[in-house]
Amino acid sequence: MLDLKYVEQNFDAVVERLSARGGNLDLTGFRALMAERKVLQPSKEALEARRNAANEEMKRAAKDDPAKLERLRGDLRALGQQIKDQEKQLASVQERLEILNLDLPNIPDASVPVGATAEQNVSGSRFVFYRGELARLERALVAFMIDVHTSRGYSELLPPYLVTRATMTVTGQLPKFEQDAFKTAGADERFLIPTAEVPVTNFHADEILDGERLPFRYCAYSPCFRAEAGAAGKDTRGLIRQHQFHKVELVKFARPEQSMEELERMVDDATEVLRRLGLHHRVMLLCTGDMGFASTKTYDVEVWLPGQQTFREISSCSNCSDFQARRGKIRFRPAPGEKPQLCHTLNGSGLAVGRTLVALLENGQREDGSVRLPDVLGPYMGGRTELRSA
């Protein structure tokens, strides 16, 4: 969620950066409401100043001018009603602004290149059974990834897989992307998580963190559930795009001045897994039109898949600045006694497990059909360093 005060003070610049994301962004209604608020706020403040002055005048009149006192009482009643009316109007405008604000994406950082699609970045299907050694390999990859990240300063969490509407709203999945979510029926509505980012980011919702201890770094394994409603016809066969898949997620809570450095470090943490597995990969800085809704800056890590003769995304690492923290009221106190500030939140895949498995199978396959596994997976596979068909 955007800072409305910042938007109001920098409206044209904000519109320009948001428009760089592409899509049908119409801020006409937003602009009209902000203009209405800009008129109402000083008008209400002027009425309050008049009321304060009348109160002072009443104190003087109370001593020696009963007639004037009575007249001032009438003026105060009228002023009080006017103030109440304007407060009601302001509250209505503010409520409508906040509803529209939920649909606005984060502002791309100035370092993010402008572009519309992935081609402009800088240098009943969709369910699957794993069986036997492939199931074991998937499980091994999860344990391996978690061990890599915990050895690099992350604390492991095991999050819930069902969350509330409010929890999904904090991270930006709702209201904009509700069609892509799986949810339960009935009055006790819950959503299956699309990524562990959702519950882990909410781990510190409504808290004031100790700024001297930041950044906090978490890693979490979870299944991920996505309806992919807007992706009809894309990768409907194979293991690349599934309604249910496994992922190890990285989430950070940082001070604003730390967050860009922590983003670079997160990318290095994700690529460390690929380096240890010996998988060829590249890092792409996404352009404005290809970033996620909540992100201000995103890097994609892509792994080489020889079977497709292309690089495919295996991790996406994003700095969400204070966009999610504002929704979730996630704050930190810079030092004892100082006023709390909004945290910056970051998230990234460390990695998508199914796509890592595909990359290992394609890159490790021999002419006889067997697959050579990286030595680092030996301890997680009972000492096995290859896969052979039964």
Q: Active-site positions?
A: 226, 241, 313, 316, 355
Q: Of 16, 20, 15, nearest to 31 (Cα)?
A: 15
Q: Is the dihedral of CA 29, 31, 32, 34 positive or negative?
A: positive
Q: Decide if 314 contacts 240 (C-beta within 8 A).
A: no
Q: What does the DSSP 8-state code read for residue 174?
A: T
d(CA 174, CA 167): 9
Q: Of 124, 125, 128, 151, nearest to 138 (Cα)?
A: 128
Sequence-ordered list of residues with C-beta below 8 angstroms from that of 164, at least 6 positions apart, any chain: 189, 190, 191
d(CA 79, CA 365): 81
d(CA 14, CA 249): 30
For residue 197, the surrounding DSSP H or E stretch is helix 197-201
Q: What does the DSSP 8-state code read for residue 183?
A: B
For strands 341-342 and 331-333, give the pairing. antiparallel
Amino acid sitting at position 22: G
d(CA 178, CA 317): 22
SS3 242: coil
Phi, psi at 318, each rounded to 5°: -130, 145
d(CA 315, CA 200): 17
Sequence-ordered list of residues with C-beta below 8 angstroms from that of 159, at least 6 positions apart, any chain: 193, 196, 199, 200, 203, 220, 222
Q: Decide if 317 contacts 294 (C-beta within 8 A).
A: no
Look up tokens 């002072």; give the residue: 56
Cα 279–Cα 285–Cα 286 angle in degrees, nearest 5:
115
